[in-house]
A and B are shown apart, each in its own frame.
Chain A
């Protein structure tokens, strides 16, 4: 038991990364399937998109695509090393989902004007709900990450 606890603390950063990447991939996947393809709320391209918006969108799309696969391979790696730490991993997932959603909802939608959440008059309501959810996820992620981080330090100093 002690040995397993020690291993997970040695790999605490990898647990966080794995969860973060999986979370990022998950939220991008939901964004693409639910909001683009099923609901058709998001548009593929909006004429008012800034140049930097196109670049940001391209990189985030590519990164989330990579993150999904890479995150799960990291998870498999942690499992074969007996180093998987569920709580810390979920902390990473919350950080990834909340972080991406907040960036998407504020910078990408509003500043870079990639597209709106939905093309309706009262889009402000959508923006508020979208970003509030993002903040809650992100804050929860930060709390879990700090807590498990302290635990990892304590385990390693034993």
Chain B
């Protein structure tokens, strides 16, 4: 009874305005900055494509919906809703935001000197490691394994700092994962299409296996029927979003591998 009470109290403080605000604020700032950069840079360069601004806004909207408001609140009680939030925050929002090419926009908004400094920074070796799809996959999918197969999941519902850290990690790792696989922005450390395809395949498999592990042995404190529903949502929802990433990766290969108009000796 006492334990329940403690748990209730912790849950209530997590659902309060503070964590929601802390998590939503960076996204709102990112939206304002993006729109400002579009308006500002449109004065000097050709018009920034509208679909990118739309894509960025949609991504921000989904990410905010996952960390604040009704979905975030329901996610505390219902594992299936929690999973829906994670699909938004860790997969769909990062994909939509990557499509919006924020780095390209940043480079054309900054002055030439500052843009050069930023490019130099991105070319440095820490960024080589960070933008490697294998490393990004371990951060992304490895983090999920840690969350759902250890007591971390129940601890996340008790501790506000942990709650904030994990949600930020899910988004950032998801974004890094996406931009390490499909290129919309200038990426200094490019890897071959085959390498990216193999890494994506392994990550996809690890995601699917984890879904079924959750089905087989639910995380601490999650009722069986919710775990089963959440697991299937993770499995099929992940498939749907990964299909888009696979399609884009293959399309980028298709464009890169086009036959060169050269003399063919037969």
Contact = CB atoms under 8 A, between A and B. Distances in A.
Contacts of B204: 62, 65-66
A150 interface: no
A63 interface: yes
A80 B255 CA distance: 12
Interface string B185-215: 0000000000001001110111111001101
A6 B266 contact: yes
Contact of B266 (A3, A49, A54, A70): A3
A144 to B, nearest CB: 25
B198 to A, nearest CB: 10
A59 B200 CA distance: 11
Contacts of B253: 73
A45 to B, nearest CB: 5
A20 B186 CA distance: 34
Contacts of A44: 212, 215, 232, 235
Nearest to B208: A58
Contacts of B254: 73, 76-77
Contacts of A55: 205, 209
A80 B201 CA distance: 26
A69 interface: yes
Contact of A66 (B201, B212, B257, B259): B201
A6 B247 CA distance: 30
Given A69-B250, A77-B254, A62 B259 contact: no
Contacts, number: 68
Contacts of B231: 45
B243 A62 contact: no
Chain A interface, DSSP helix/strand/loop, else mixed: helix
A81 interface: yes
Nearest to A45: B215
B239 interface: yes
Contacts of A57: 208-209, 212
Given A61-B208, A63-B201, A76-B254, A69 B246 contact: yes
A58 B239 contact: no
Interface residues of B, number: 30
B259 A80 contact: yes
A80 B258 contact: yes
Given A3-B266, A70-B197, A80-B258, A65 B209 contact: no
Interface string A1-33: 001001100000000000000000000000000
A77 B258 CA distance: 8
A23 B116 CA distance: 48
A100 to B, nearest CB: 15
B251 interface: yes
Nearest to B242: A65
Interface of B: 197, 200-202, 204-209, 212-213, 215-216, 231-232, 235, 239, 242-243, 246-247, 250-251, 253-254, 257-259, 266
28 contacts: A6-B266, A44-B232, A45-B231, A54-B212, A54-B213, A55-B205, A57-B208, A57-B212, A58-B205, A58-B206, A58-B209, A59-B201, A61-B205, A62-B201, A62-B202, A62-B207, A63-B201, A63-B205, A66-B197, A66-B200, A66-B204, A69-B243, A69-B247, A70-B197, A73-B253, A76-B254, A77-B254, A80-B258
Lowest 10 A-B CB distances belong to which pairs?
A58-B209, A62-B204, A62-B205, A58-B208, A58-B205, A73-B250, A59-B205, A69-B246, A45-B215, A6-B266
